[in-house]
């Protein structure tokens, strides 16, 4: 059987994707982009480590301006994700508008289960959402994603008086701030690591899945200038 790239080159892209989502083309590799050969099932047969590497590979494509996700037939993807979702990854990200998670990892509809809150911090609601992703959706990798110049972390470092309930963020971010010696970048990196560790330890669902090797929990920081995610 010819490989996916040869198949794609020899037929109309739409027909290729239509064949792909119905299972007519098999044998994908994550290095060539996200599963054109199984667009309706993002999980495919990925191991946690392979899923993690796909996130990193997708981020490299994003940083290099070589996006593949934009080539997917969105109508087909929508049609095949109406009744179910099978994301391969979950990401806890900051609510910052400069961090478009799917774009950052060059993924498309149905591939990433995204939770967002200022400071990418762990709360009971976030834990519940991610436990659903692990226990029900059976995602393979869970990434806590901080980002450079995070306003929430900056605010927690200053601890200024602020309007409304913004200051309710501070207690969640203080542990990383206290370990940073006043360095914002270190506080952002530390916060991503601490929140990932909180997920591993405060959630029995995530802890058990991590111990069983069915999900990988990691932390990283997104650089707004370069577009790259560095593990932390």
pLDDT digits (tens, 9 = 90+) for 131-159: 999 999 999 999 999 999 999 999 999 99
Joined together, the tokens standing for residue 231 give 């593990």
Q: Is the pLDDT of residue 74 over 60?
A: yes
Per-residue model confidence (pLDDT) at position 6: 40
Q: Domain holding 197: CATH number?
A: 3.40.1050.10
Segments forming the whole domain that contains residue 50:
4-231
Q: Is the pLDDT of residue 85 over 60?
A: yes
Q: Is the pLDDT of residue 130 over 70?
A: yes
The three-state (H, E, C) secondary structure of the chain, written as one string: CCCHHHHHHCCCHHHHHHHHHCCCCCCCCHHHCCCHHHCCCCCCCCCHHHHHHHHHHHHHHHHCCCCCHHHCCHHHHHHCCCCCCCCCEEEEECCCCCCCHHHHCCCCCCCEEEEECCCCCCCHHHHHHHHHHHHCCCCCEEEEEEECCCHHHHHHHHCCCCCCCHHHHHHHHHHHHHCCCCCHHHHHHHHHHHHHHHHHHHCHHHHHHHHHCCCEEEEEEECCCCCCEEEC
Instruction: Indicate the average pLDDT of the chain.
Output: 85
Distance CA 27, CA 36 (A): 10
Distance CA 104, CA 63 (A): 8
Per-residue model confidence (pLDDT) at position 4: 44
Per-residue model confidence (pLDDT) at position 18: 37
Three-point CA angle 210, 216, 217, nearest 5°: 90
Q: How many domains does the chain have?
A: 1
Q: Is the pLDDT of residue 30 over 80?
A: no
Reference 40, options 106, 102, 108; nearest CA is 108
The region of weakest confidence among 6-15, 54-63, 77-86 is 6-15
Question: Roughly what angle, to the nearest 10 degrees, separates helices 124-135 and 184-202?
Answer: 60
Does residue 153 contact residue 191 with C-beta atoms inside 8 Å? yes
Does residue 119 contact residue 173 with C-beta atoms inside 8 Å? yes
Per-residue model confidence (pLDDT) at position 45: 77
Per-residue model confidence (pLDDT) at position 17: 30
For residue 35, what are the contacts with CB-CB under 8 A and spacing of at least 6?
A: 28, 41, 42, 44
């Amino acid at each position: 059987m010819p490989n996916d790239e040869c198949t794609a080159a020899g037929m109309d892209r739409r027909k290729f994707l239509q064949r792909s989502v119905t299972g007519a083309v098999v044998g994908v590799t994550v290095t060539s982009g996200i599963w054109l050969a199984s667009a309706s099932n993002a999980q495919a047969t990925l191991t946690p480590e392979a899923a993690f590497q796909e996130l990193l590979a997708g981020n490299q494509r994003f940083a290099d301006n070589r996006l593949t996700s934009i080539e997917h037939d969105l109508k087909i993807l929508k049609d095949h994700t109406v009744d179910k979702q099978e994301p391969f990854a979950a990401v806890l990200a900051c609510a910052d508008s400069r961090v478009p998670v799917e774009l950052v990892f060059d993924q498309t509809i149905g591939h990433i289960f995204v939770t967002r809150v200022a400071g990418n911090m762990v709360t009971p609601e976030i834990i519940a959402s991610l436990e659903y992703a692990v226990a029900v959706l059976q995602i393979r990798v869970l990434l806590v994603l901080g980002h450079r110049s995070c306003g929430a972390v900056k605010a927690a470092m200053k601890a200024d008086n602020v309007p409304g309930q913004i200051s309710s963020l501070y207690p969640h971010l203080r542990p990383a701030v206290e370990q940073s010696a006043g360095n914002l970048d270190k506080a952002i990196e530390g916060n991503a690591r601490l929140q990932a560790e909180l997920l591993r330890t405060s959630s029995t669902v995530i802890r058990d899945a991590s111990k069983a090797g069915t999900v990988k929990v990691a932390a990283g920081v997104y650089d707004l200038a370069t577009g790259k995610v560095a593990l932390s």
